[in-house]
Structure 1
Amino acid sequence: MNQQFDEQDLKWSQYWLAENLKLGSAQWGALNDLLRLLAAENEQQNLVAKGTLPFAWSRHIVDSLQLITHVPRGTSTWLDLGTGAGFPGLACAIALPQTHFTLVEQRPRRTEWLERAKVALGLRNVEIVTANISQVPKQDFDVISARAFAPLEKLLNLSAAFSTKATAWVLPKGRSATHELETLKGWRHMFHVEQSVTDPQSGIITGHLIGRK
């Protein structure tokens, strides 16, 4: 299908990406292909709100790729929880081909789509896991992300086992970011809130988890 994007949104997104990330022509093409695949699949299942599709470059691509600016260079392993439509996992995997991404999503219909998209995009650095987070074999990751997965305290309870003190957490939290961090109990951490570039009222909780109190 011929995906139509809002012209101003597309121009701003292209500008931000060019200024902040070094993407090759193949990566630009793959990101565009990801949005084309998303729009087509969205006709079959509700991956994202239909109204976001004309603004998909900012709402889904830039919103995902901004997380890369908060993680260390040379990141080897990245765990994305509740990947859903592939954001941020698939988008970041396109931008970071040397990083191995593990995308966890428990809804089989979503993971079937993720597998098809992975193959279509030729992403050899992506592993799709169809499981509840409690069923995922424990290992340490350099980065952990989760977009609209669970409230912060619950998220940490479920996924702290995949983290070390060096793990970088990048958690888009929308307008609840500051409140969730201020009310977090039971954990020692070095988290703070960064403003999202795609929404001045939204925040990203980022930093390192030290352990339980």
Structure 2
Amino acid sequence: MTEEEARRWISDRFGVSRETLLGTLVDEVIAEAGQQNLISPSTMSAIWARHVVDSAQLLALAGDDNRAWLDIGTGAGFPGLVIACLTERPVTLCEPRRRRADFLERTASRLGLADRVAVEACKVERLSGDYPVISARAVATLDALFAAAAGVSGRTTTWLLPKGRGALEEVEAARKTWHGSFHVEHSITDPESYIVVATGVRRRR
């Protein structure tokens, strides 16, 4: 997927105004790159395909409502800020690194999203609540994620977890410790990447 194709993919599905908003997010990420390493420099030239569309594709797996969304380890805003740009959902961005959390707060404000985007500068273990949708992109193994976020998830939580080529092996490993419904979707941005969708996750006794 080229950058032009990626932008068209966004505008065709979400409208030109949403694409414009995401353009502002992309500009902020690029501008901040000189201050901190938000994304891999090798992906900067393909930011729309590798990060924006890669994040936006999760929405098709999340359901059509506007349930609250928790993004663990948000980093540069992917996928959490992309989800906030494309929907009216309340979104919580959990980012323990203070400089990145500060960037997320500034950017949410510049995007006009501060009223429904909360930034938590801590590890997910310190959060409380019960989030209907939880995402985490390149953060930890499934087993580690389920354990860390046990206090903010329940049996009705939908987990959306982008993974690389080892996705199927991670699912099999997680099944040893966790009950639940797990299936794997192909990523539209990378033929060797997958998205693990999990529901009903609970620890085996």
Normalising by structure 1, report the TM-score. 0.90
Residue of 128, 140, 144 corresponding to 1:154: 144
Could you tell me how far apart the structure 2 residues matched to 1:210 and 1:155 are? 11
Could you tell me how far apart the structure 2 residues matched to 1:205 and 1:75 are? 21
* CA contact 1:163–1:209 (8 Å) conserved in 2: no
Q: Does 1:110 align with 2:110?
A: no
In structure 2, give the amino acid aligned to 1:147. R
Structure 1: which 5+ runs fail to align?
1-7
* CA contact 1:75–1:143 (8 Å) conserved in 2: no
State the Cα distance separating 1:164 from its structure 2 match: 2.1
Match of 1:13 in 2: 6
* CA contact 2:10–2:19 (8 Å) conserved in 1: no
Could you tell me how far apart the structure 2 residues matched to 1:45 and 1:17 are? 27
* CA contact 1:106–1:132 (8 Å) conserved in 2: yes
| Offset from partner CA, 1:33-54 (integer Å, 9 cap, x none) | 1111100100111101112111
Q: Does 1:212 align with 2:203?
A: yes
Cα root mean square deviation, aligned: 1.3
Structure 2: which 5+ runs fail to align?
none
How many residues align structurally? 202
Normalising by structure 2, report the TM-score. 0.94
Pair 210,111 (structure 1): closer, same or farther in 2 beyond 3 Å: closer
* CA contact 2:11–2:18 (8 Å) conserved in 1: no
In structure 2, give the amino acid aligned to 1:14. R
Identity of aligned residues (%): 40
In structure 2, give the amino acid aligned to 1:108. R
Could you tell me how far apart the structure 1 residues matched to 2:10 and 2:121 are? 31
SS of the residue corresponding to residue 119 of structure 2 reads: strand
* CA contact 1:65–1:88 (8 Å) conserved in 2: yes
* CA contact 2:7–2:19 (8 Å) conserved in 1: no
Could you tell me how far apart the structure 2 residues matched to 1:164 and 1:132 are? 18
* CA contact 1:107–1:130 (8 Å) conserved in 2: yes
Could you tell me how far apart the structure 1 residues matched to 2:7 and 2:95 are? 29
In structure 2, give the amino acid aligned to 1:167. T
In structure 2, give the amino acid aligned to 1:115. E
Could you tell me how far apart the structure 2 residues matched to 1:134 and 1:210 are? 17
Could you tell me how far apart the structure 2 residues matched to 1:210 and 1:67 are? 19
Q: Does 1:139 align with 2:129?
A: yes
State the Cα distance separating 1:18 from its structure 2 match: 4.3
In structure 2, give the amino acid aligned to 1:42. A
Pairing of 1:1-213 with structure 2 (within 5 A)? 9-19=2-12, 21=13, 23-96=14-87, 98-123=88-113, 124-136=115-127, 138-184=128-174, 185-213=176-204
Could you tell me how far apart the structure 1 residues matched to 2:132 and 2:24 are? 27
Could you tell me how far apart the structure 2 residues matched to 1:92 and 1:191 are? 22
